[in-house]
């Protein structure tokens, strides 16, 4: 065995995998389909690996984040910017671990769980993950339906039904190639960032106050109301399905499956996801800064619903197009999130169950399960009901998060599974601290939501 091959532990290191069994590639239709230049300018190599990080960043600025960012900014001004920054740093660490797992082992997180845990545990993890994906899809349906209502006056029920059509958009892009899918995602991310850039320039928030907001303060912990919103921001930011997604799509790159090739791939994949998640930081911070500058600054401290923010934005900002830009960004966010939810659903089902469904069937099944509660709640309770449903979807995501974070950290810190690619001791310690903090904060959010 060569030194390169020895870096990756043998298949038997995964307890419940069959000895000598062949590992089916994750997303086999696009596995190693994106060429990577060997040598040449570093920029060419960076561009070759750029893409998966931006697809992952979508989950960190999806419609589920908007309500918490709006509430944080309108109630407490710029103070909770430090919480957004902390959430983003956690996300950067966890996504780098997910990329490392996929590159080193050739498994996505779902496949790794299947090969390590006994069947009953895997079934529990699969059910929890499917619930999280449906909850995430629920937020996307609500966000897209609200955006269509705000922009075109389409009733929420009609907008929710229209979202079923995006299943065919994803299928079309996948058939053209994975790079087309990534280009679609990056284009919509550019639209979102551009919309908020214009609004931030128009709002002209005080730079000193914004910078001061990024400095952590004990007030976040001592003020119960601020702590609750802060936990909500953390719970809505780190998305469990993104860990499954990232560990899979990094394998679409045709890097050499050798010691040197894997080490190089880890470096570039980490750079890609870090840059992309900094864009997510900008968008989330922009939503909070906009709410703080426009709503908190004018005394509108109770703005938490997307529709209410849309109605107030243009009059208070004095920019007629501001509300339209806000709704366009929301629509782009909802459309973008459907792409990642589709892929995450496929990865989870194939990884845990080794069950393959046609892409259109998988997508329509997930989207159908998300549309039904939106239609029912909207018919019974109207727009206020969908706002509550949006919050509920974030609670479901919070419940599932420990089941994704803990196995991920467990695997990447295990030298028996990762060989010399296991994370260093200080990174392992930091990862366990982050995992513990996320679990505690999400349990607190769940407790307060149910009993509070």
Q: What is the pLDDT of residues 348-374, one digit of tens each?
A: 888 898 877 776 776 677 667 667 777
**pLDDT of 232 over the 70 cut:** yes
Homologous superfamily in CATH for domain 50-451: Amino acid/polyamine transporter I (1.20.1740.10)
Q: State the angle between helix axes of 119-152 and 240-249 in degrees (0 to 180), rounded to the nearest 10.
A: 100
| pLDDT at res. 445 | 65
Ranges of each domain in the chain: 50-451
| pLDDT at res. 269 | 96
Q: Which tens digits make up the pLDDT trace of 175-201?
A: 788 899 899 999 999 999 999 999 999
Mean pLDDT value of segment 83-92:
92
SS3 253: strand
**pLDDT of 6 over the 50 cut:** no
Mean pLDDT value of segment 383-411:
77
Mean pLDDT value of segment 321-325:
90
With contact defined as beta carbons under 8 Å apart, do 105 and 247 qualify? no
**How many H-runs (helices) and E-runs (strands) does the chain carry?**
21, 0
Which among 411, 382, 240, 316 has a CA at the least distance from the CA of 73?
A: 316
Residues with Cβ within 8 Å of residue 66, at least 6 apart in sequence: 143, 287, 306, 330, 333
**pLDDT of 43 over the 80 cut:** yes
What are 253's strand-pairing partners? 34
End-to-end Cα separation, the chain, in angstroms = 59
| pLDDT at res. 359 | 66
| pLDDT at res. 1 | 40
CA pair distance 401, 390, nearest whole angstrom: 17
**pLDDT of 381 over the 80 cut:** no
Question: CA 24, 102, 336: angle at the middle one, nearest 5?
Answer: 95
Percent pLDDT > 70 in the chain is: 88
Mean pLDDT value of segment 291-301:
87
| pLDDT at res. 206 | 93
Q: Which of 4-18, 268-282, 317-331 comes out lowest in average pLDDT? A: 4-18
CA pair distance 412, 423, nearest whole angstrom: 6
Q: CA 17 → CA 84, 418, 452, distances in Å?
A: 39, 15, 44
**pTM of the predicted model as reported, rounded to 2 decimal places:** 0.89
CA atoms within 13 A on the CB side of 181: 30
Residues with Cβ within 8 Å of residue 25, at least 6 apart in sequence: 31, 32, 106, 251
| pLDDT at res. 317 | 84
């Amino acid at each position: 065995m060569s030194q390169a091959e020895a870096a990756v532990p043998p298949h038997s290191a995964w307890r419940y995998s069959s000895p000598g069994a062949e590992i089916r590639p994750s997303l086999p239709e696009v596995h190693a389909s994106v060429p990577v230049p060997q040598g040449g300018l570093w920029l060419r190599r960076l561009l070759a690996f750029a893409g998966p990080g931006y697809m992952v960043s979508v989950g960190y600025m999806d419609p589920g984040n908007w309500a918490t960012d709006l509430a944080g900014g309108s109630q407490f001004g710029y103070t909770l910017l430090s919480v957004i920054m902390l959430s983003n740093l956690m996300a950067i660490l966890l996504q780098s671990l997910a990329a490392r797992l996929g590159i080193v082992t050739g498994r996505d997180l779902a496949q790794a769980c299947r090969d390590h845990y006994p069947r009953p545990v895997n079934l529990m993890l699969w059910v929890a993950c499917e619930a999280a994906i449906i909850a995430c899809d629920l937020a996307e349906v609500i966000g897209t339906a609200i955006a269509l209502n705000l922009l075109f006056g389409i009733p929420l029920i009609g907008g929710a039904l229209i979202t079923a059509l995006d299943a065919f958009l994803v299928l079309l892009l996948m058939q053209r190639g994975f790079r087309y899918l990534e280009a679609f995602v990056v284009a919509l991310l550019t639209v979102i960032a551009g919309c908020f850039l214009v609004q931030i320039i128009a709002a002209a928030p005080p730079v000193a106050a914004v910078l001061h907001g990024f400095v952590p303060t004990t007030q976040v912990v001592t003020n119960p109301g601020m702590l609750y919103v802060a936990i909500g921001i953390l719970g809505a930011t780190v998305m469990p399905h993104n860990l499954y997604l990232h560990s899979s799509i990094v394998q679409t790159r045709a890097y050499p499956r050798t010691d040197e090739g894997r080490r190089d791939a880890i470096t570039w994949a980490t750079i890609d996801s870090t840059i992309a998640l900094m864009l997510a930081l900008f968008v989330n911070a922009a939503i909070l800064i906009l709410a703080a500058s426009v709503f908190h600054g004018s005394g509108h401290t109770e703005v938490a619903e997307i529709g209410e923010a849309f109605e107030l934005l243009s009059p208070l900002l004095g920019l007629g197009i501001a509300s339209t830009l806000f709704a366009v960004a929301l629509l782009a966010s909802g459309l973008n999130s459907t792409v990642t939810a589709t892929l995450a659903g496929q990865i989870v089902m194939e990884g845990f169950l080794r069950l393959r469904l046609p892409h259109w069937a998988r997508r329509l099944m997930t989207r159908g399960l998300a549309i039904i509660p939106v239609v029912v709640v909207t018919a019974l309770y109207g727009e206020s009901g969908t706002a509550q449903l949006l919050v509920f979807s974030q609670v479901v995501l919070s419940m599932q998060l420990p089941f994704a974070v803990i196995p991920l950290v467990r695997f990447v810190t295990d030298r028996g599974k990762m060989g010399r690619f296991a994370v260093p001791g200080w990174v392992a310690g930091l990862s366990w601290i982050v995992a513990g903090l996320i679990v505690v904060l999400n349990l607190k959010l769940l407790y307060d939501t149910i009993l509070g």
